[in-house]
Homo-oligomer: A and B are copies of this chain.
Amino acid sequence: MSMTVSPLAPKSYPDMPDIEGVAFATASAGIKYKGRTDVLLATVSEGTAVAGVFTRSKCSSAPVDWCKARVPGGKARALLVNSGNANAFTGKKGKAAVELSAQIVSGAMGCSDGEIFLASTGVIGESLPAEKFSGVVEELKAGQGNAGWLDAAKAIMTTDTYPKVATASVEIDGITVSINGIAKGAGMIAPDMATMLSFIFTDAPIAPQVLQAMLSGETDGSFNAITVDSDTSTSDTVLLFATGAAEARGVEAVESLDDPRFEVLRAALGDVMVDLSHQIVRDGEGARKFIEVRVEGAESDASAKKIALSIGNSPLVKTAIAGEDANWGRVVMAVGKAGEPADRDRLAIWFGDVRVAFEGERDPSYSEDAASAVMKEEDVIIRVDLGLGEGKASIWTCDLTKEYVAINGDYRS
Protein backbone atom coordinates (compact mmCIF):
# COMPACT_ATOMS: atom_id res chain seq x y z
CA MET A 1 0.00 0.00 0.00
CA SER A 2 1.45 3.32 -1.09
CA MET A 3 1.73 6.04 1.52
CA THR A 4 2.63 8.76 -0.95
CA VAL A 5 0.51 11.86 -0.34
CA SER A 6 -2.40 12.11 -2.80
CA PRO A 7 -1.59 14.41 -5.73
CA LEU A 8 -5.00 16.01 -5.08
CA ALA A 9 -4.08 17.03 -1.49
CA PRO A 10 -4.60 20.69 -0.53
CA LYS A 11 -1.47 22.77 -1.16
CA SER A 12 -1.67 24.43 2.28
CA TYR A 13 -3.63 24.25 5.53
CA PRO A 14 -5.76 27.09 6.91
CA ASP A 15 -4.88 28.83 10.18
CA MET A 16 -7.24 27.26 12.66
CA PRO A 17 -8.55 29.71 15.29
CA ASP A 18 -8.92 28.50 18.88
CA ILE A 19 -12.36 27.28 19.82
CA GLU A 20 -12.79 28.28 23.43
CA GLY A 21 -13.90 25.31 25.53
CA VAL A 22 -12.21 22.67 23.32
CA ALA A 23 -8.85 21.03 24.11
CA PHE A 24 -7.06 18.13 22.46
CA ALA A 25 -4.44 15.61 23.47
CA THR A 26 -3.14 12.67 21.42
CA ALA A 27 -1.21 9.57 22.41
CA SER A 28 0.09 6.24 21.15
CA ALA A 29 -1.87 3.38 22.68
CA GLY A 30 -0.35 0.82 20.28
CA ILE A 31 -3.73 -0.55 19.16
CA LYS A 32 -2.38 -1.45 15.72
CA TYR A 33 0.03 1.12 14.32
CA LYS A 34 3.59 1.63 15.47
CA GLY A 35 5.49 4.92 15.61
CA ARG A 36 2.47 7.21 15.36
CA THR A 37 -0.39 8.56 17.48
CA ASP A 38 -3.58 6.49 17.45
CA VAL A 39 -5.78 7.99 20.21
CA LEU A 40 -7.39 11.40 20.40
CA LEU A 41 -9.08 12.77 23.52
CA ALA A 42 -11.08 15.93 22.90
CA THR A 43 -12.52 17.52 26.04
CA VAL A 44 -15.25 20.15 25.87
CA SER A 45 -16.38 22.54 28.59
CA GLU A 46 -19.39 21.91 30.81
CA GLY A 47 -22.67 22.76 29.10
CA THR A 48 -21.46 21.81 25.63
CA ALA A 49 -24.31 20.80 23.29
CA VAL A 50 -23.85 17.92 20.88
CA ALA A 51 -25.50 16.69 17.66
CA GLY A 52 -24.65 13.71 15.48
CA VAL A 53 -25.34 11.89 12.22
CA PHE A 54 -24.35 8.28 11.66
CA THR A 55 -24.08 5.49 9.11
CA ARG A 56 -27.35 3.97 7.95
CA SER A 57 -25.67 0.56 7.82
CA LYS A 58 -27.68 -2.28 9.36
CA CYS A 59 -24.36 -3.60 10.68
CA SER A 60 -23.25 -0.46 12.51
CA SER A 61 -20.25 -0.60 14.84
CA ALA A 62 -20.42 -0.69 18.65
CA PRO A 63 -19.26 2.96 19.08
CA VAL A 64 -21.89 4.09 16.53
CA ASP A 65 -24.58 2.33 18.57
CA TRP A 66 -23.19 3.96 21.73
CA CYS A 67 -23.25 7.49 20.28
CA LYS A 68 -26.66 7.10 18.63
CA ALA A 69 -28.15 6.27 22.03
CA ARG A 70 -26.50 9.27 23.72
CA VAL A 71 -26.88 12.09 21.18
CA PRO A 72 -30.55 12.64 22.15
CA GLY A 73 -29.28 13.62 25.65
CA GLY A 74 -27.75 16.63 23.90
CA LYS A 75 -24.80 17.08 26.30
CA ALA A 76 -21.11 16.26 25.94
CA ARG A 77 -17.92 16.49 27.99
CA ALA A 78 -15.45 14.36 26.02
CA LEU A 79 -14.79 12.50 22.80
CA LEU A 80 -12.39 9.55 22.60
CA VAL A 81 -11.34 8.35 19.12
CA ASN A 82 -8.95 5.54 18.26
CA SER A 83 -7.57 4.50 14.88
CA GLY A 84 -6.45 1.02 13.83
CA ASN A 85 -9.48 -0.95 15.08
CA ALA A 86 -13.09 -0.15 14.17
CA ASN A 87 -14.70 -2.22 16.95
CA ALA A 88 -17.28 -3.25 14.35
CA PHE A 89 -18.91 -6.69 14.13
CA THR A 90 -17.39 -7.57 17.49
CA GLY A 91 -20.60 -8.73 19.22
CA LYS A 92 -20.85 -8.63 23.01
CA LYS A 93 -17.12 -8.00 23.35
CA GLY A 94 -17.54 -4.85 21.28
CA LYS A 95 -20.33 -3.59 23.52
CA ALA A 96 -18.23 -4.34 26.62
CA ALA A 97 -15.29 -2.48 25.05
CA VAL A 98 -17.29 0.72 24.49
CA GLU A 99 -18.66 0.53 28.03
CA LEU A 100 -15.18 0.14 29.49
CA SER A 101 -13.82 2.97 27.28
CA ALA A 102 -16.59 5.31 28.43
CA GLN A 103 -16.02 4.41 32.10
CA ILE A 104 -12.30 5.09 31.81
CA VAL A 105 -12.98 8.54 30.32
CA SER A 106 -15.89 9.47 32.61
CA GLY A 107 -13.80 8.42 35.63
CA ALA A 108 -10.99 10.73 34.53
CA MET A 109 -13.40 13.57 33.75
CA GLY A 110 -15.69 13.17 36.74
CA CYS A 111 -18.83 13.20 34.61
CA SER A 112 -21.52 10.71 33.62
CA ASP A 113 -21.03 8.06 30.91
CA GLY A 114 -23.83 9.67 28.92
CA GLU A 115 -21.64 12.69 28.19
CA ILE A 116 -18.82 10.61 26.69
CA PHE A 117 -18.73 10.07 22.91
CA LEU A 118 -16.69 7.38 21.22
CA ALA A 119 -15.51 6.60 17.70
CA SER A 120 -13.25 3.86 16.35
CA THR A 121 -11.77 3.41 12.89
CA GLY A 122 -9.67 0.63 11.39
CA VAL A 123 -9.94 -3.12 10.95
CA ILE A 124 -13.33 -4.75 11.42
CA GLY A 125 -14.10 -7.93 13.34
CA GLU A 126 -11.21 -7.77 15.79
CA SER A 127 -11.78 -7.17 19.50
CA LEU A 128 -10.78 -3.71 20.69
CA PRO A 129 -8.45 -4.00 23.72
CA ALA A 130 -10.11 -1.08 25.57
CA GLU A 131 -8.06 -1.77 28.71
CA LYS A 132 -5.14 -0.20 26.81
CA PHE A 133 -6.92 3.15 27.22
CA SER A 134 -6.78 3.15 31.01
CA GLY A 135 -3.23 4.42 31.45
CA VAL A 136 -3.39 6.49 28.30
CA VAL A 137 -6.51 8.47 29.21
CA GLU A 138 -4.96 9.76 32.45
CA GLU A 139 -1.94 10.90 30.44
CA LEU A 140 -4.23 12.49 27.85
CA LYS A 141 -6.30 14.24 30.50
CA ALA A 142 -3.15 15.68 32.05
CA GLY A 143 -1.90 16.83 28.66
CA GLN A 144 -5.09 18.48 27.40
CA GLY A 145 -4.29 21.39 25.12
CA ASN A 146 -0.91 19.99 24.08
CA ALA A 147 -2.23 18.96 20.67
CA GLY A 148 -3.39 21.28 17.88
CA TRP A 149 -5.98 20.74 15.16
CA LEU A 150 -3.58 19.09 12.72
CA ASP A 151 -2.28 16.79 15.49
CA ALA A 152 -5.87 15.80 16.26
CA ALA A 153 -6.60 15.12 12.57
CA LYS A 154 -3.43 13.04 12.26
CA ALA A 155 -4.24 10.80 15.25
CA ILE A 156 -7.48 9.60 13.62
CA MET A 157 -6.03 8.77 10.19
CA THR A 158 -5.95 5.20 8.84
CA THR A 159 -5.04 4.95 5.13
CA ASP A 160 -5.51 8.72 4.72
CA THR A 161 -2.45 10.25 3.09
CA TYR A 162 -2.97 13.68 4.69
CA PRO A 163 -4.83 15.16 7.72
CA LYS A 164 -8.08 17.02 6.99
CA VAL A 165 -9.06 20.28 8.71
CA ALA A 166 -11.39 23.16 7.80
CA THR A 167 -12.60 26.35 9.46
CA ALA A 168 -15.13 29.16 9.03
CA SER A 169 -15.84 32.26 11.10
CA VAL A 170 -18.96 34.44 11.11
CA GLU A 171 -20.19 37.44 13.08
CA ILE A 172 -23.32 37.10 15.13
CA ASP A 173 -24.46 39.76 17.60
CA GLY A 174 -21.41 41.70 16.37
CA ILE A 175 -19.10 39.04 17.78
CA THR A 176 -16.98 36.56 15.80
CA VAL A 177 -17.71 32.89 16.38
CA SER A 178 -15.84 30.07 14.71
CA ILE A 179 -16.51 26.57 13.46
CA ASN A 180 -13.56 24.19 13.17
CA GLY A 181 -13.72 20.64 11.88
CA ILE A 182 -11.47 17.64 11.37
CA ALA A 183 -12.17 14.53 9.32
CA LYS A 184 -10.66 11.24 8.25
CA GLY A 185 -11.48 9.01 5.31
CA ALA A 186 -9.66 7.90 2.19
CA GLY A 187 -12.91 7.75 0.31
CA MET A 188 -16.37 7.11 1.67
CA ILE A 189 -14.80 3.93 2.77
CA ALA A 190 -11.26 3.20 3.75
CA PRO A 191 -10.04 -0.40 3.73
CA ASP A 192 -11.95 -2.62 6.11
CA MET A 193 -14.71 -0.09 6.51
CA ALA A 194 -13.09 1.99 9.18
CA THR A 195 -14.12 4.93 7.21
CA MET A 196 -15.44 8.42 7.40
CA LEU A 197 -15.28 10.28 10.71
CA SER A 198 -15.67 13.99 11.25
CA PHE A 199 -15.73 16.05 14.42
CA ILE A 200 -16.74 19.68 14.32
CA PHE A 201 -16.58 22.24 17.13
CA THR A 202 -17.94 25.75 17.59
CA ASP A 203 -17.88 28.25 20.39
CA ALA A 204 -21.32 29.57 19.41
CA PRO A 205 -24.02 28.91 22.01
CA ILE A 206 -26.55 26.71 20.26
CA ALA A 207 -29.27 24.60 21.88
CA PRO A 208 -28.97 20.85 21.18
CA GLN A 209 -32.13 20.48 19.06
CA VAL A 210 -31.12 23.52 16.97
CA LEU A 211 -27.62 22.09 16.61
CA GLN A 212 -29.04 18.78 15.43
CA ALA A 213 -31.28 20.49 12.84
CA MET A 214 -28.29 22.44 11.57
CA LEU A 215 -26.09 19.34 11.25
CA SER A 216 -28.76 17.17 9.69
CA GLY A 217 -29.66 19.91 7.22
CA GLU A 218 -26.10 20.30 5.98
CA THR A 219 -25.24 16.58 5.75
CA ASP A 220 -27.10 15.86 2.50
CA GLY A 221 -25.11 18.40 0.53
CA SER A 222 -21.71 17.52 2.01
CA PHE A 223 -20.85 14.13 3.51
CA ASN A 224 -23.90 12.47 1.95
CA ALA A 225 -22.95 13.87 -1.46
CA ILE A 226 -19.56 12.22 -1.82
CA THR A 227 -18.63 8.74 -2.96
CA VAL A 228 -15.37 7.03 -3.69
CA ASP A 229 -16.56 3.50 -4.31
CA SER A 230 -20.26 3.31 -3.39
CA ASP A 231 -19.45 1.25 -0.30
CA THR A 232 -21.12 2.52 2.87
CA SER A 233 -19.23 2.05 6.09
CA THR A 234 -20.30 0.53 9.39
CA SER A 235 -18.63 3.38 11.24
CA ASP A 236 -19.55 6.69 9.57
CA THR A 237 -19.89 9.28 12.31
CA VAL A 238 -20.15 13.05 12.30
CA LEU A 239 -20.39 14.79 15.67
CA LEU A 240 -20.88 18.53 16.14
CA PHE A 241 -20.08 20.15 19.50
CA ALA A 242 -21.12 23.67 20.55
CA THR A 243 -19.28 24.76 23.69
CA GLY A 244 -21.22 28.02 23.99
CA ALA A 245 -18.06 29.80 25.17
CA ALA A 246 -18.98 32.84 23.05
CA GLU A 247 -21.92 33.45 25.39
CA ALA A 248 -19.47 34.96 27.89
CA ARG A 249 -18.42 37.35 25.12
CA GLY A 250 -22.00 38.57 24.66
CA VAL A 251 -23.49 36.14 22.14
CA GLU A 252 -27.00 35.13 23.10
CA ALA A 253 -27.88 31.45 22.82
CA VAL A 254 -29.48 30.30 19.56
CA GLU A 255 -32.50 28.35 20.73
CA SER A 256 -34.89 28.33 17.78
CA LEU A 257 -34.83 27.45 14.10
CA ASP A 258 -36.57 30.80 13.42
CA ASP A 259 -33.67 32.75 14.92
CA PRO A 260 -32.16 34.72 11.95
CA ARG A 261 -28.66 33.76 13.20
CA PHE A 262 -29.54 30.10 12.55
CA GLU A 263 -29.10 30.58 8.79
CA VAL A 264 -25.81 32.46 9.23
CA LEU A 265 -24.37 29.67 11.36
CA ARG A 266 -25.82 26.96 9.21
CA ALA A 267 -24.21 28.42 6.09
CA ALA A 268 -20.81 28.59 7.84
CA LEU A 269 -21.21 25.02 9.09
CA GLY A 270 -22.10 23.96 5.56
CA ASP A 271 -18.89 25.54 4.24
CA VAL A 272 -16.81 23.58 6.76
CA MET A 273 -18.62 20.32 6.00
CA VAL A 274 -18.35 20.70 2.21
CA ASP A 275 -14.65 21.56 2.56
CA LEU A 276 -13.96 18.47 4.70
CA SER A 277 -16.04 16.19 2.48
CA HIS A 278 -14.16 17.33 -0.62
CA GLN A 279 -10.86 16.68 1.14
CA ILE A 280 -12.00 13.09 1.73
CA VAL A 281 -12.71 12.62 -1.98
CA ARG A 282 -9.35 14.18 -2.86
CA ASP A 283 -7.76 11.52 -0.65
CA GLY A 284 -9.88 8.77 -2.27
CA GLU A 285 -7.93 5.56 -2.57
CA GLY A 286 -5.86 5.70 -5.75
CA ALA A 287 -7.53 8.96 -6.84
CA ARG A 288 -5.86 11.04 -9.55
CA LYS A 289 -8.90 13.13 -10.57
CA PHE A 290 -11.49 15.06 -8.53
CA ILE A 291 -14.89 14.87 -10.23
CA GLU A 292 -17.97 17.02 -9.71
CA VAL A 293 -21.21 15.64 -11.17
CA ARG A 294 -23.93 18.30 -11.59
CA VAL A 295 -27.37 17.13 -12.62
CA GLU A 296 -30.08 19.67 -13.45
CA GLY A 297 -33.46 19.69 -15.18
CA ALA A 298 -34.58 16.61 -13.21
CA GLU A 299 -38.13 16.06 -11.97
CA SER A 300 -37.00 16.70 -8.36
CA ASP A 301 -33.84 17.32 -6.35
CA ALA A 302 -34.02 13.76 -5.00
CA SER A 303 -34.25 12.37 -8.53
CA ALA A 304 -31.30 14.55 -9.62
CA LYS A 305 -29.22 13.21 -6.74
CA LYS A 306 -29.98 9.58 -7.59
CA ILE A 307 -28.90 10.18 -11.18
CA ALA A 308 -25.78 12.06 -10.06
CA LEU A 309 -24.83 9.15 -7.78
CA SER A 310 -25.53 6.65 -10.56
CA ILE A 311 -22.97 8.53 -12.68
CA GLY A 312 -20.53 9.04 -9.81
CA ASN A 313 -20.63 5.38 -8.78
CA SER A 314 -20.35 3.90 -12.27
CA PRO A 315 -17.09 1.96 -12.59
CA LEU A 316 -17.14 2.58 -16.35
CA VAL A 317 -17.48 6.37 -15.98
CA LYS A 318 -14.73 6.39 -13.34
CA THR A 319 -12.29 4.23 -15.30
CA ALA A 320 -12.88 6.35 -18.43
CA ILE A 321 -11.95 9.48 -16.46
CA ALA A 322 -8.87 7.71 -15.09
CA GLY A 323 -7.94 7.10 -18.74
CA GLU A 324 -8.64 10.78 -19.59
CA ASP A 325 -11.21 9.55 -22.11
CA ALA A 326 -14.19 11.86 -22.85
CA ASN A 327 -16.42 8.80 -23.01
CA TRP A 328 -19.80 10.55 -22.69
CA GLY A 329 -21.62 7.39 -23.86
CA ARG A 330 -20.96 5.93 -20.42
CA VAL A 331 -22.64 8.96 -18.84
CA VAL A 332 -25.71 8.24 -20.99
CA MET A 333 -25.59 4.65 -19.76
CA ALA A 334 -25.41 5.75 -16.11
CA VAL A 335 -28.37 8.13 -16.56
CA GLY A 336 -30.30 5.31 -18.19
CA LYS A 337 -29.69 2.78 -15.43
CA ALA A 338 -30.61 5.11 -12.55
CA GLY A 339 -34.27 4.14 -12.75
CA GLU A 340 -35.33 7.80 -12.48
CA PRO A 341 -37.42 9.75 -15.01
CA ALA A 342 -35.25 10.62 -18.03
CA ASP A 343 -35.93 11.21 -21.70
CA ARG A 344 -33.08 10.13 -23.94
CA ASP A 345 -34.06 12.66 -26.59
CA ARG A 346 -33.90 15.69 -24.27
CA LEU A 347 -30.60 14.84 -22.64
CA ALA A 348 -27.61 17.19 -22.85
CA ILE A 349 -24.15 16.47 -21.41
CA TRP A 350 -21.10 18.68 -20.87
CA PHE A 351 -17.51 17.86 -19.84
CA GLY A 352 -16.33 21.14 -18.36
CA ASP A 353 -17.66 23.80 -20.75
CA VAL A 354 -17.71 21.47 -23.75
CA ARG A 355 -21.17 20.26 -24.71
CA VAL A 356 -20.69 16.71 -25.97
CA ALA A 357 -24.28 15.48 -26.32
CA PHE A 358 -27.52 17.31 -27.15
CA GLU A 359 -31.11 16.21 -27.85
CA GLY A 360 -30.42 12.52 -27.77
CA GLU A 361 -27.30 12.34 -29.89
CA ARG A 362 -23.73 13.53 -30.15
CA ASP A 363 -23.52 17.32 -30.22
CA PRO A 364 -23.37 18.39 -33.89
CA SER A 365 -20.40 20.64 -33.09
CA TYR A 366 -18.65 17.99 -30.99
CA SER A 367 -14.88 18.33 -30.91
CA GLU A 368 -12.90 15.37 -29.59
CA ASP A 369 -9.89 17.64 -29.07
CA ALA A 370 -11.83 20.14 -26.94
CA ALA A 371 -13.37 17.35 -24.84
CA SER A 372 -10.00 15.62 -24.44
CA ALA A 373 -8.41 18.83 -23.20
CA VAL A 374 -10.98 19.00 -20.38
CA MET A 375 -10.18 15.41 -19.39
CA LYS A 376 -6.50 16.20 -18.90
CA GLU A 377 -7.32 18.62 -16.03
CA GLU A 378 -7.00 17.48 -12.40
CA ASP A 379 -10.59 18.59 -11.64
CA VAL A 380 -13.32 17.48 -14.06
CA ILE A 381 -16.93 18.72 -14.02
CA ILE A 382 -19.58 16.53 -15.65
CA ARG A 383 -22.86 18.39 -16.19
CA VAL A 384 -26.08 16.72 -17.26
CA ASP A 385 -29.31 18.55 -18.16
CA LEU A 386 -32.30 16.21 -18.28
CA GLY A 387 -34.64 18.87 -19.69
CA LEU A 388 -37.60 17.69 -17.61
CA GLY A 389 -37.99 19.99 -14.60
CA GLU A 390 -36.30 22.13 -11.96
CA GLY A 391 -34.64 19.41 -9.84
CA LYS A 392 -30.89 19.63 -9.36
CA ALA A 393 -28.07 18.16 -7.27
CA SER A 394 -24.29 17.96 -7.20
CA ILE A 395 -22.11 15.15 -5.92
CA TRP A 396 -18.34 14.70 -5.78
CA THR A 397 -16.27 11.65 -6.49
CA CYS A 398 -12.88 10.57 -7.84
CA ASP A 399 -11.65 8.34 -10.63
CA LEU A 400 -11.16 4.56 -10.38
CA THR A 401 -7.54 3.61 -10.94
CA LYS A 402 -5.38 0.50 -10.80
CA GLU A 403 -4.02 1.87 -7.51
CA TYR A 404 -7.51 1.56 -5.95
CA VAL A 405 -7.50 -2.14 -6.85
CA ALA A 406 -3.94 -2.54 -5.57
CA ILE A 407 -4.68 -0.79 -2.25
CA ASN A 408 -7.82 -2.82 -1.64
CA GLY A 409 -6.56 -6.14 -2.96
CA ASP A 410 -3.42 -6.05 -0.86
CA TYR A 411 -4.57 -4.32 2.34
CA ARG A 412 -4.84 -7.16 4.80
CA SER A 413 -2.21 -9.43 3.35
Q: Does A362 contact B (CB under 8 A)?
A: yes
CB pair A316 B191 closer than 8 Å: yes
Give chain A interface residues in 83-99, CB to chain B under 8 Å: 88-94
Asked if A413 and B323 sit within 8 Å, CB to CB, the answer is yes
Name the distance in Å between A80's Cβ and chain B's nearest Cβ: 22
Q: Mark A165-191, 1 if CB is under 8 A from B, else 0.
A: 000000000000000000000000101
In the complex, whether A32 has a CB less than 8 A from a CB of chain B is no
Known contacts A89-B344, A91-B361; decide if A409 and B325 are in contact (CB<8 Å): yes
Q: Is A36 an interface residue (CB 8 A)?
A: no
| Chain B residues in 8 Å Cβ range of A324 | 413
Contacts of A325 in B (CB 8 A): 409-413
Question: Given contacts A323-B410, A337-B231, A345-B91, are A125 and B59 in contact (CB under 8 A)?
Answer: no
User: Given A89-B362, A191-B316, 17 other A-B contacts at CB below 8 A?
Assistant: A56-B337, A58-B339, A58-B340, A59-B344, A60-B344, A124-B329, A125-B357, A189-B316, A229-B316, A231-B316, A231-B330, A231-B334, A232-B333, A234-B332, A323-B412, A323-B413, A401-B409
Is the CB of A257 closer than 8 A to any CB of chain B?
A: no
The residue among A324, A332, A347 with the most chain B CB atoms within 10 A of its own CB is A332
Expressed in whole angstroms, the Cα–Cα distance for A4 and B335 within the complex equals: 32
The answer to the question of A109 belonging to the interface, with a C-beta cut-off of 8 Å to chain B, is: no
Chain B residues within an 8 Å CB radius of A333: 57, 59, 124, 189, 193, 231-234
Let me know if B330 and A193 touch, CB within 8 A. yes
CA distance A328 to B124 in the complex (A): 9
Q: Does A320 contact B (CB under 8 A)?
A: yes
Query: A94 — which chain B residues lie within 8 A by C-beta?
Result: 361
Q: Quick one: CB contact mask for A324-357 with B, threshold 8 Å, 1 for yes? A: 1101111011111111111111010000000001
Chain B residue at smallest Cβ distance from A322: B409
Q: Which residue of B lies closest to A363 (CB)?
A: B125
Q: Are A405 and B401 in contact (CB under 8 A)?
A: yes
The 15 sampled A-B contact pairs (Cβ below 8 Å) are A56-B339, A60-B336, A60-B344, A88-B329, A89-B344, A89-B362, A92-B361, A126-B362, A192-B327, A192-B329, A231-B314, A231-B333, A315-B404, A323-B409, A323-B410
CB contact between A412 and one of B88, B327, B335 (< 8 Å): that residue:
B327
CB distance from A48 to the nearest CB of B (A): 31
The winner among A189, A193, A340 for most chain B CB atoms within 10 A is: A193
A364 to chain B, nearest CB (A): 10
What is the chain B residue whose CB lies nearest that of A324? B413
Q: How far apart are the CA atoms of A90 and B93 in the complex, in Å?
A: 59
Give the 6 A-B residue pairs with the shortest CB-CB distance, closest first. A323-B409, A59-B336, A124-B329, A91-B361, A57-B336, A232-B337
Interface residues on A, range: 35 or more
**Interface set, chain A 62-115, CB cutoff 8 A to B:** 88-94
| A21-79 with Cβ < 8 A to chain B | 55-60
Which residues of chain B are within 8 angstroms of A345 by Cβ–Cβ distance? 91
Cα-based distance from A359 to B94 in the complex (angstroms): 13
Name the CB-closest residue of B to A55. B336
A280 adjacent to chain B (CB < 8 Å): no
Interface bits A207-239 vs B (CB < 8 Å: 1, else 0): 000000000000000000000011111100000
**A335: which B residues are within 8 A, CB to CB?**
58-59
Q: Are A229 and B327 in contact (CB under 8 A)?
A: no
A39 to chain B, nearest CB (A): 22
CB distance from A235 to the nearest CB of B (A): 9
**B342 with A59: CB separation less than 8 A:** yes
Q: Does A408 reach chain B (CB closer than 8 Å)?
A: yes
